[in-house]
């Protein structure tokens, strides 16, 4: 009978009339990795927030180890051994790893916080699960991947037996994903049970034992991973056939839209992150930038879009110098940008979806006339974008904050593509999107190209780069070290280039 | 609960809690609570004179509240309303005593001087924040003291020859209203209330209707996204402080041109600027909310003067009761902040 550690039975959750979870059942066996799969806005995060005590369900029952429980808040969840790693981390930037972990559960000696003991404890747990976290490091100094491990440590420190991961891989680089998967396996070996939300079917096939599929708030069913395949899973989740390879014709590039010469950009610490970079993107083509995270991609995009000052070089958009112009000037010259960090740059979360849809154009007609906003026009526009890009939101007046992660992303993409820019800079555009949405977005990028526009795609996912790009530029230590044709290269070759092998050879040659 | 409901309900609960605890304190200290509150009510509305005085007190409260609320809505915490008010007051009086002009020029000029002085005083923290990321709270607190001492010096040297107060302003610069005075049995109620109401409408209009307001609010919510969207973040931060300071300076004009008609050396702060923080919080930082909260605060402040006279309740106790109401208002704000944080977490 004690087969299940967690049973969520017939859960229903509404948000002022909108049903996010409708009679969903999920049963977690001890020692398994259980995937939760569903489209953007299907209700996955909501369901997990119910389990973690952040939301109260309107109906249904939750059992932990066979006993019916009432999880009124996250502390109750902690006490029941349930821990959650959120998609957007909840860490205090200026605190150290240990301080963050003990926050709210401080060990003290005579009223003084006992950091030493806590650090020791953190180090021990970290070693046991192979997390390799430095307990004394400051959060603002460590990578996103490390921050995620701190979140994992936090749950383990609180004695979690059941761990919930909400889209943990969406923010990670391919290398970090490999390491995370290793960590998940270690956790299982140590007797933990895991619920994993992910849109990446490959990951599900690789590590999960069973998968529960939900669609538009309703439970579709639970299947054994060994008895299914990615194609079936995708159609279960979307409710139709999904093709994984995007169809496209040969590119017909013409003249340069974006031309970058000898660009030098420093990062926030003052170190040169982009070092004499050269790149061109022509009308009618998609150029993909492949590279390991931290090789100057972010600084490059920020310099092109005007968010960061460049030190040297030239960036020409339609033959006009745009280097170090203010972002508005650059936008008006025909550039659009899907930013990498949607919460930081892409959205004003407290603004409605409608207001976010005009974030760059709010001052133009017809949205504004002689300094007065015309909200009717704005919300009309928003409505049409919402339906065109299938943004699942209760309405255009809903605050962007209340949208599911994937739908926030779709809203941004809709806004940027709709401006029909001469060049579209797309940084990780499909991060956190479901397979159906990814297919749709890729198609929109290709349409953009076919209409004679230029697209610059930055992605850590080689598969995406290979599928969508017409040319691939490999970035390594702030330079483009190679430009290759996706039809004539392999992931292996790209991997070597990204690791800097070509450049080394070239360097040796000049040394001789 | 919808956020609108919450915004209305929380302040009401806070005031009721303040009244409740005030009652308990009065009873425990051996005073007649019912008589106390009756005296409070009579002191504010029992007589047309008192009501005129309430309006007089409400006028600067509205403007000070708007100043705090405007900054707050655009992501800034203007603790410096007090200092901006003081420089506004003195600037208005300076124009009031030093020029000889017909009323249609003199009064507007004096009001304008107060607005500009407040705006300039607020420009400093705005500029420092925009340019050097210096936190506005620290700068505005320091500028409050600076304002106090500089204006005292100015009053002693420029507005008088080493005396404690300036001359009275010319009648051509006065906001005094014989009409209202006649209506309210010679209370000090003056025309300024219209300026305050118009400013409330202006604040609502700027924030909710104009393109600039859209930018100001966006910058307040998320600087990064605003920069990405092509807004000039620094300019908006400065502008927000300047508008806030304008309201604060006008609050000073109400005192200088309306209530008193002169300015005098101050041993300490007027308190109106700080009460403005409570007014803004109670009013949930909306224009209409600020007006309503200012009415409440003005009534309490004026009505309380009657409690020692009519019910024999000592002044100190009256201050405690008022402080309690402010305390509950402020803590209700904290409660709201917690509610928001938790639901944010949930919504992510
Ligand atoms: N606090 C909220 N208020 C109103 N609606 C909400 C709230 N939170 C979520 N929703 C709605 O509930 C639905 C389900 O959202 P949820 O975040 O659970 O989706 P999800 O399956 O996690 O999607 P994604 O893969 O995009 O993260 C969405 O349509 C969303 O707009
Ligand atoms: Mg989600």
Please state the φ and ψ torsions of residue B175, each to the nearest 5 degrees.
Answer: -90, -5
Decide if A131 is inside a domain. yes
Place of tokens 């509240």: B65
In DSSP notation, A162-212 reads EEEEESGGGGS-HHHHHHHHHHHHHHHHTT-EEEEE-S-HHHHHHH-SEEE
Higher pLDDT, A238 or B250: B250
> Residue A507: pLDDT above 50?
no
Task: Report the percentage of chain A scoring pLDDT > 70.
Answer: 96
Residue range of the domain that includes B186:
61-290
| Per-residue pLDDT, A130 | 86
Cα–Cα distance between B221 and B272 in angstroms, integer? 28
pLDDT at B3: 62
Residues A111 and A224 placed together within one structural domain of the fold: yes
Nearest Cα to Cα of residue A53 among A70, A39, A68: A70
Of A205, A238, A271, the last residue of a domain is: A238
The answer to whether A107 and A113 have CB atoms below 8 angstroms apart is: yes
B231 located within any domain: yes
Which ipTM did the prediction report? 0.85
CA distance B28 to chain A (A): 36
For residue B312, being part of any structural domain is answered with no
Closest atom of ligand 1 to CA, residue A42: 21
Q: What pLDDT, on a 0 to 100 scale, did the predictor assign at position B130?
A: 95
Nearest CA to ligand 1 atom 16: A43
| pLDDT level of residue A508 (50, 70, 90 thresholds) | very low
Instruction: Name the closest residue on chain A to residue B208, using Cα atoms.
Output: A373
How many angstroms separate the CA atoms of A45 and A213, rounded? 13
Residue A512 pLDDT class (50, 70, 90 cuts): very low
Question: What residues pair up with A317 in beta bridges, in sequence order?
Answer: A258, A320
Q: How confident is the model at residue A6 (pLDDT cuts 50, 70, 90)?
A: very high
Q: What is the pLDDT of residue B348?
A: 36
| Residue A105 maps to a domain | yes
Ligand 1 center to residue A24 CA distance, Å?
Answer: 15
Q: What is the pLDDT of residue B338?
A: 57
Question: Is pLDDT at A360 greater than 90 in this prediction?
Answer: yes
Cβ(B62)–Cβ(B298) below 8 Å: no
Q: What per-residue confidence (pLDDT) applies to A212?
A: 95
Whether residue A262 sits in one domain with residue A190: no
The CA–CA distances, whole Å, from A275 to A94, A292, A302, B105 equal 30, 16, 14, 62
Cβ burial, residue A451 (10 Å; 0-12/13-18/19+)? exposed
Q: What are phi and psi of A23, to 5 degrees?
A: 60, 50
B214 touches chain A (CB under 8 A): yes
Interface-testing mutation among B229, B236, B344, B345, with chain A (most A C-beta atoms within 10 A): B229
Examine the domain organization and report whether A31 and A67 are in the same domain.
yes
Structure tokens at B155: 């009053």
CA of B93 to the centre of ligand 2 (A): 60
d(CA B64, CA B199): 11
The 3-class SS string of A249-274 reads: CCCCCCCEEEEEEEEEEECCCCCEEE
Measured in Å, residue A472 CA sits from the centre of ligand 1 at: 35
Residue A340 lies in a domain: no
* Tokens 């190679």 -> residue: A482
The pLDDT value recorded for residue B334 is 66
Give CA–CA dist A339/A412, Å, rounded: 9
Angstrom distance (rounded) from CA A360 to CA B228: 8
Task: Give the chain B residue whose CA is nearest to the CA of A52.
Answer: B346
- A116 shares a domain with A175: yes
Radius of gyration of chain A (CA): 24
Residue A202's contacts (CB-CB under 8 Å, 6 or more residues apart) are: A230
Return the ligand number nearest the Cα of A24.
1
Same domain? For A127 and A269 the reply is no
- Provide the sign of the torsion angle of the four alpha carbons A123, A125, A130, A132, taken in this order: negative
On whether residue A280 sits in a domain, the answer given is: yes
Token pair recorded at residue A370: 């002689």
Residue A305 has pLDDT above 50, yes or no: yes
Is the Cβ atom of A436 under 6 angstroms away from ligand 1?
A: no
DSSP 3-state of A425: strand
pLDDT confidence of residue B292:
94
Structure tokens at B342: 């938790």
Does residue A278 share a domain with residue A138? no
Beta bridge partners of A471: A287
Q: How far is B229 from chain A (nearest CA, A)?
A: 5
B210 touches chain A (CB under 8 A): yes
Number of structural domains in chain A: 2
- What is the Cα–Cα distance from A192 to A186, expressed in whole angstroms? 9
Helices H, strands E: what count in chain B? Answer: 15, 0
B346–A55 C-beta distance less than 8 A: yes
Distance of CA B164 to the CA centre of its chain: 25
CATH code at position A493 = 3.40.50.300
Distance CA B23, CA B20 (A): 5
Residue B97, CA atoms < 13 Å, CB-side half-sphere:
18
pLDDT of residue A455: 96
A219 with A97, same domain?
Answer: yes
- Of A91, A84, A11, A26, nearest to A54 (Cα)? A84
Q: For B183, what's the count of Cα atoms within 13 Å in the CB-facing half-sphere?
A: 13
In chain A, residues with a C-beta closer than 8 Å to the C-beta of B75 are none
What H or E segment, with its residue span, contains residue A344?
none
CA–CA distance, A233 with A223 (Å, rounded to integer): 9
Q: How many CB atoms lie within 10 A of CB B7?
A: 16
The number of residues making up chain B comes to 348
| B contacts of A87 (beta carbons < 8 Å) | 348
Instruction: Please state the atom number of ligand 1 nearest to the C-alpha of residue A392.
Output: 29
Domain that holds residue A324: 256-334+421-510
Asked whether residue A48 falls in the same domain as residue A119, the answer is: yes
Taken in order A145, A148, A154, A159, the sign of the CA dihedral is negative
**CA–CA dist A483, B322 (Å, integer):** 72
Indicate if A292 and A211 belong to the same structural domain.
no
Q: Which residue lies with its CA nearest to atom 29 of ligand 1? A: A41
Last residue of a domain, one of A178, A204, A238: A238
Q: Give the residue from A347, A56, A85, A50 showing the smallest Cα distance to A198.
A: A85
Examine the pLDDT at A144 and tell me if it is beyond 50: yes
Q: Is residue B276 part of a domain?
A: yes
Residues of A in contact with B227 (CB under 8 A): 307, 327, 345
Token digits of residue A460: 């850590």
Enumerate residues 6+ apart whose C-beta is below 8 A from B130: B233, B234, B235, B237, B238
* Residue A122 confidence (pLDDT) above 80: yes
The DSSP code for A98 is: H
- Report yes or no on A130 lying in a domain: yes
pLDDT given at position B347 = 43
Q: Where are the beta strands (DSSP E) in A272-371?
A: 272-282, 286-290, 312-317, 320-321, 335-338, 368-369
pLDDT < 70 positions in chain B: 1-4, 6, 330, 332-348
Which atom of ligand 1 is closest in space to residue A39's alpha carbon?
Answer: 25
Please tell me the predicted confidence (pLDDT) of residue B333.
64
Residue B131 lies in a domain: yes
* Ligand 1 closest atom vs CA A48: 18
Q: Which of A138, A164, A190, A201 is nearest to A28 (CA)?
A: A164
8 Å CB contact between B89 and B253: yes
Q: Which residue has the tokens 């904050």?
A: A401
Q: How many whole angstroms separate alpha carbon B72 and alpha carbon B80?
A: 12
Does B115 reside within a domain? yes
Residue A143, pLDDT > 50, answer yes
What's the mean per-residue pLDDT of chain A?
90
User: How buried is A62 (Cβ within 10 angstroms: 0-12 exposed, 13-18 middle, 19+ buried)?
Assistant: buried
**Tally of domains within chain B:** 1
Q: What per-residue confidence (pLDDT) applies to A114?
A: 79
Ligand 1 neighbourhood includes A49 CB (under 6 angstroms): no
CA–CA separation, B174 vs B107, rounded Å? 6
pTM: 0.86
Using the 8-state DSSP alphabet, how is residue A429 labeled?
A: T
- Is A397 touching ligand 1 by the criterion CB < 6 Å? no
* A142 and A224 inside one domain: yes
A302 and A231 together in one domain: no
For residue B311, give both structure tokens: 């019910």
Q: How far apart, in whole angstroms, are the C-alpha atoms of residue B221 and residue A401?
A: 12
Q: Which residue has the tokens 């590590």?
A: A207
The conformation of residue B264, written as its DSSP 8-state character, comes to B
A98 shares its domain with A127: yes
Q: pLDDT of A40-88, one tens digit each?
A: 999 999 999 999 999 999 999 999 999 999 999 888 999 999 999 987 7
The reply to whether B1 touches chain A by the CB within 8 Å rule is no
Average pLDDT over residues A243-267: 88
């Amino acid at each position: 009978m004690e087969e299940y550690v967690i049973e969520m039975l017939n859960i229903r959750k509404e948000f002022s009339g909108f049903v996010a979870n409708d009679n969903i059942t999920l049963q977690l066996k001890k020692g398994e990795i259980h995937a939760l799969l569903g489209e953007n806005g299907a209700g996955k995060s909501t369901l997990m927030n119910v389990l973690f005590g952040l939301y109260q369900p309107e109906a249904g029952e939750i059992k932990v180890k066979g006993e019916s429980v009432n999880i009124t808040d996250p502390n109750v969840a902690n006490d029941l051994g349930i821990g959650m790693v959120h998609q957007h981390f909840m860490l205090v930037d200026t605190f150290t790893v240990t301080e963050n972990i003990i926050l709210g559960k401080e060990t003290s000696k005579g009223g003084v916080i006992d950091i030493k003991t806590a650090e020791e404890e953190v180090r021990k747990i970290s070693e046991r699960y192979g997390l390799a976290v430095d307990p004394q490091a400051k959060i603002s100094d460590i990578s996103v991947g490390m921050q995620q491990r701190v979140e994992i440590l936090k749950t383990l420190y609180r004695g979690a037996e059941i761990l919930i991961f909400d889209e943990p891989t969406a923010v990670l680089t391919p290398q970090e994903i490999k390491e995370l998967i290793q960590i998940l396996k270690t956790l299982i070996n140590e007797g933990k049970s895991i619920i994993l939300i992910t849109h990446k079917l490959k990951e599900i096939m690789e590590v999960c034992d069973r998968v529960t599929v939900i669609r538009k708030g309703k439970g579709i069913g639970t299947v054994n991973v060994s008895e299914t395949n990615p194609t079936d899973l995708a159609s279960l989740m979307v409710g139709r056939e999904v093709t994984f390879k995007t169809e496209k014709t040969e590119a017909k590039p013409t003249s340069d839209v974006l031309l970058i010469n000898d660009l030098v950009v420093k990062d926030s610490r003052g170190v040169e992150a982009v070092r004499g970079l050269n790149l061109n993107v022509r009308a009618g083509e998609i150029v993909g930038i492949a590279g390991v995270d931290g090789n100057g991609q972010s600084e490059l995009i920020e310099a092109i879009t005007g968010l960061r000052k460049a030190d040297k070089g030239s960036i020409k958009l339609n033959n006009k110098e745009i280097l170090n112009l203010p972002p508005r000037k650059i936008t008006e010259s025909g550039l659009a940008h899907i930013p990498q960090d949607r919460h930081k740059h892409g959205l004003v979360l407290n603004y409605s979806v409608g207001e976010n849809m005009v974030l760059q154009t709010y001052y133009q007609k017809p949205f504004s006339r002689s300094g007065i906003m015309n909200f009717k026009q704005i919300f009309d526009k928003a409505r049409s974008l919402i339906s065109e890009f299938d943004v699942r939101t209760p309405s255009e007046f809903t605050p962007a904050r209340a949208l599911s992660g994937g739908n926030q992303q779709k809203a941004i993409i809709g806004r940027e593509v709709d401006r029909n820019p001469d060049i579209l800079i797309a940084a990780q555009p499909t991060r956190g999107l479901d397979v159906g949405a990814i297919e749709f977005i890729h198609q929109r990028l290709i349409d953009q190209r076919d209409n004679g526009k230029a697209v610059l795609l930055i992605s850590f996912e080689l598969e995406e780069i290979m599928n969508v790009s017409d040319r691939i530029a490999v970035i390594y230590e702030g330079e483009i070290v190679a430009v290759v044709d996706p039809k004539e290269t392999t992931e292996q070759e790209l991997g070597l280039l990204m690791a800097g092998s070509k450049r080394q050879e070239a360097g040796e040659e000049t040394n001789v | 609960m919808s956020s609108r409901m919450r915004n209305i309900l929380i302040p009401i609960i806070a005031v009721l809690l303040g009244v409740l605890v005030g009652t308990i304190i009065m009873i425990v200290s051996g005073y007649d609570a019912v008589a106390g509150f009756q005296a409070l009510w009579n002191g504010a509305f029992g007589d047309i004179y008192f009501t005129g005085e309430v309006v007089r007190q409400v006028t600067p409260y509205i403007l000070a509240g708007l100043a705090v609320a405007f900054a707050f809505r655009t992501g800034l915490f203007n603790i410096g309303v007090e200092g901006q008010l003081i420089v506004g007051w003195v600037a208005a009086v300076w124009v009031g005593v030093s020029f000889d002009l017909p009323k249609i020029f003199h009064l507007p000029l004096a009001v304008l001087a107060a607005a500009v002085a407040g705006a300039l005083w607020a420009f400093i923290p705005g500029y420092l924040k925009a340019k050097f990321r210096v936190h506005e709270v620290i700068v505005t607190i320091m500028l409050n003291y600076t304002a106090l001492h500089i204006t005292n010096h100015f009053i002693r040297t420029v507005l008088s020859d080493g005396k404690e107060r300036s001359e009275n302003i010319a009648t051509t610069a006065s906001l005094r209203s014989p009409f209202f005075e006649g209506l309210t049995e010679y209370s000090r109620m003056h025309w300024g209330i219209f300026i305050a109401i118009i400013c409330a409408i202006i604040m609502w209009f700027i924030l909710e209707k104009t393109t600039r307001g859209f930018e100001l609010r966006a910058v307040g919510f998320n600087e990064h996204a605003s920069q990405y969207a092509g807004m000039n973040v620094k300019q908006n931060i400065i502008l927000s402080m300047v508008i806030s300071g304008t309201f604060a300076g006008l609050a000073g004009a109400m005192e200088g041109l309306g209530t008193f008609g002169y300015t005098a050396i101050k041993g300490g702060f007027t308190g109106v600027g700080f009460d403005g923080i409570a007014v803004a919080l109670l009013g949930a930082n909306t224009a209409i909310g600020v007006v309503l909260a200012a009415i409440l605060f003005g009534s309490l402040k004026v009505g309380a003067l009657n409690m020692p006279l009519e019910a024999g309740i000592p002044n100190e106790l009256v201050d405690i009761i008022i402080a309690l109401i402010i305390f509950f208002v402020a803590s209700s704000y904290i409660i709201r902040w917690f509610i928001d944080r938790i639901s944010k977490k949930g919504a992510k």
